[in-house]
Amino acid sequence: MPPVLAICGFFLLCGIVLILRGQNAFEFYKTIFLSGFSNFDEFASVLFNATPLIFTGLAVAIGYKAGLFNIGCEGQLYVAAFAAAWVGIHVNLPSVLMIPLCICAALLAGAIWGGIPGIIKAKFGAHEVINTIMMNFIALAITNFLVTSVYREPSQMIPQTSQIAESAHLPRLAGMFYLIPASNLLNASFIIACICVIFCYIFFKHTRWGYELRLVGNAPNVAEYGGINPRIVTVWVMALSGAIAGLAGVADVMGYRYRFADSFSSGWGFTGIAVALLGRNHPFGVFAAALLFGLLNKVALDIELFLNVPRGLFLVGQGLLIIWLVSQEGFTKRKT
Amino acid sequence: MIFDIIPSTLRMTTPIGYATLGGIYSERSGIINLALEGMMLMGAYGYVIGAHTSGSAWIGLTVGISLGIVLSLLHAVATISFHAEQIVTGIAINILALGITEYLIPSTDRVPGLPDITLPLIGSFSILVYFLPILMIISHIFIYKTPWGLRLRAAGESTEALKTLSLSREKWQYFGVILSGVFAGLGGCFLVSDVHIFTKGIIGGRGYVALAAVIFGNWRPLYGVSACLFFGFASSLDLIDLGNIPDQFLKIIPYLLTMVVLAGLVGRSRPPAALGKMKS
């Protein structure tokens, strides 16, 4: 129950801040609710905003279960997005082949970017946290270089690549569900996210690899005694985590912008840490937590526009929420 | 040309140098500090608020350092008193700091900077540039030559050592983390004082570069600040024409080198033995 309490505390805190600013807190809650749930259009937008967070949340959760911190989701999703865009621009095949091909390119790029810190950890014992952070900056610098100097769309002020082939576009869901208006941005990347959630659930619970992963995370000594090589697990867990984080890049490139744009992610990799924590690293929990943060991301704009509440409020709340959750977790562990 | 590089190197080195000293104090006491970025941002933000409302750079400096301390206290309470996961808390503090600066965007007027001292031939610099080497030497002496420094290091090397002397490990950890807030805050203050204006992205990952310098400098003040000097030099190289090397590749030098050093391929960096451990 701590996550639910933390969320209640979060909304309460927002309300108190608003009252201190002399604003109507009730109006704020009403706007959040209406902006998220008043009709299918709004709700589909919440799902659209939640999609990248489902991926990064799952990526962090996978690492966490094996006792690894993947702080590098941000970098992984950038290289993956660029890989998807590169294939999307340079290859032209029918959709049936094109979409899987682009996704595979992204998965591979993400897996490599996540796998390198895994290999360094397994081989040299260097902590994955520092290396994933460093890899974030390297990914940002390299993709920034590529998009500003090599693959920049001519005649454009903002650094971005040209559009990917039409056959690589992920279909919008608006056409499939008549309840969602055609203007809605929700697309097939959300379906991929749902598949990933179910995949992770089955993977953790019902496969040998999932068992190895959890054992290495909970009791590395027992795992080693049982004939599992924690080093090998470290490498593939980091690669898998990176690959799934990379899908967040796919969601943006193939589902929304149809191109790679410089600094497109609004900190999804870092929000993924909050999502995983709040969801207690359980795939369904991650899904629910991503919906909450998707809602917050969506309404942040509305409350800024209509209520003149800076969106920074949610970032502050997010930070405090994480600190609260980990403090509570640490405190309970300390007592036992 | 060379006369452009030296001043630029000094300007680039100073903010990360302060944050590096801060990171060293925190990590030497055994607390991982990924919150340097957020603490620098708070320092910069505090400086601009203080200097803007009072018109005095010194009040800006005081407010900046105070806000750095407030954030470091949050990190300290969560990690030391509640045993919260140090890495996650650090990241959360960075998110929090970003949110706070968005929340009250200070006026965009120019704020007063700290006084400059002119060096013949090279140029004139903020006094904070001159303070860095002084504080570096004081830190070195403190950490290696005094009984307090020994206790600080003991807190980071072992979870039990201080207890056997009936000293409080937690007390020294609070000390280390709060000092990291002071120093990172100073680094942030320098950035604003140098350009007289606050922007959201003013820190631009310098907190993480400082983290790299802590590791690169093997958790020692003299080496750590030297690493910053090198990183500062690397990021000043874009002033000279290096042919076709893009500026982004110069930027990744500190990050790549840190990975290489951490992997033990060149030299060996050894973290404090009980870094990140709260229980034996």
Residue B265 pLDDT grade (very low, low, confident, very high; cuts 50, 70, 90): low
Question: Out of A312-316, B14-18, B219-223, which region has the weakest mean confidence (pLDDT)?
Answer: A312-316
Return the SS3 of B120. coil
A101 interface with B at CB cutoff 8 Å: no
C-alpha–C-alpha distance, residues A273 and A2, integer Å: 17
Residue B18: partners with Cβ closer than 8 Å, 6 or more residues away: B128, B132, B135, B183, B184, B186, B187, B190
Cβ separation B263–A126 shorter than 8 A: yes
Structure-model confidence comparison of residues B111 and A60, the more confident one: A60
Beta carbon pairs, A and B, within 8 Å = 147
C-alpha–C-alpha distance, residues A42 and B35, integer Å: 36
pLDDT at A236: 96
C-alpha–C-alpha distance, residues B131 and B138, integer Å: 10
Amino acid identity, residue B9? Answer: T
B115 Cα to chain A: minimum distance (Å): 33
Residue in B85, B100, B212 closest to A312 by CB: B100
pLDDT at B15: 96
C-alpha–C-alpha distance, residues B112 and A99, integer Å: 55
Residue in B74, B104, B264 closest to A323 by CB: B74
Note whether ipTM > 0.90 here.
no
Residue in A120, A125, A320 closest to B96 by CB: A320
Interior/surface letters B182-192, b for 16+ CB within 10 angstroms, e for the rest: bbbbbbbbbbb
Cβ separation A133–B215 shorter than 8 A: no
B82 Cα to chain A: minimum distance (Å): 5
Q: Which of A74, A133, A146, A297 to mutate to test the interface with B (most CBs of B within 10 A)?
A: A133
Highest mean pLDDT pick, A320-324, B131-135, B166-170, B258-262: B131-135
Question: Chain A: residue nearest B254 by CA?
Answer: A134
Strand partners, A160: A261
In this predicted model, what pLDDT tens digit does every residue of B18-56 receive, in sequence order? Answer: 999 999 999 999 999 999 999 999 999 999 999 988 889
- Terminal-residue alpha carbon distance, chain A: 18
Cβ separation A327–B82 shorter than 8 A: yes
Does the pLDDT at position B69 exceed 80?
yes
Question: Chain B: residue nearest A122 by CA?
Answer: B263
In this predicted model, what pLDDT tens digit does every residue of A84-110 receive, in sequence order? Answer: 999 999 999 999 999 999 999 999 999
C-alpha–C-alpha distance, residues A72 and A172, integer Å: 29
Question: Chain B: residue nearest A121 by CA?
Answer: B263
The one-character DSSP state at B113 is P
pLDDT at B241: 65
Residues of chain B positioned with their CB less than 8 A from the CB of A331: 82-84
Residue in A267, A310, A323 closest to B89 by CB: A323
Does the pLDDT at position B268 exceed 70?
no
- Terminal-residue alpha carbon distance, chain B: 54
Residues of chain A positioned with their CB less than 8 A from the CB of B97: 319
Three-class SS string for A178-205?
A: CCCCCCCCCECHHHHHHHHHHHHHHHHH
C-alpha–C-alpha distance, residues A50 and B173, integer Å: 38
- Closest listed residue to residue A278, CA positions, set A331, A322, A323: A322
In this predicted model, what pLDDT tens digit does every residue of B118-129 receive, in sequence order? Answer: 877 777 888 999
Strand partners, A172: A187
Cβ separation B262–A329 shorter than 8 A: no
- Mean pLDDT, consecutive 10-residue stretches, chain A (336 aa), reads 84 86 84 86 92 97 93 96 96 93 97 96 87 93 91 84 91 80 89 96 94 90 88 95 97 94 90 91 95 89 80 86 89 79
Contact A259, A160 (CB under 8 A): yes
Residue B89 pLDDT grade (very low, low, confident, very high; cuts 50, 70, 90): very high
Q: Which of A132, A323, A332 to mutate to test the interface with B (most CBs of B within 10 A)?
A: A323
Residue B107 pLDDT grade (very low, low, confident, very high; cuts 50, 70, 90): low
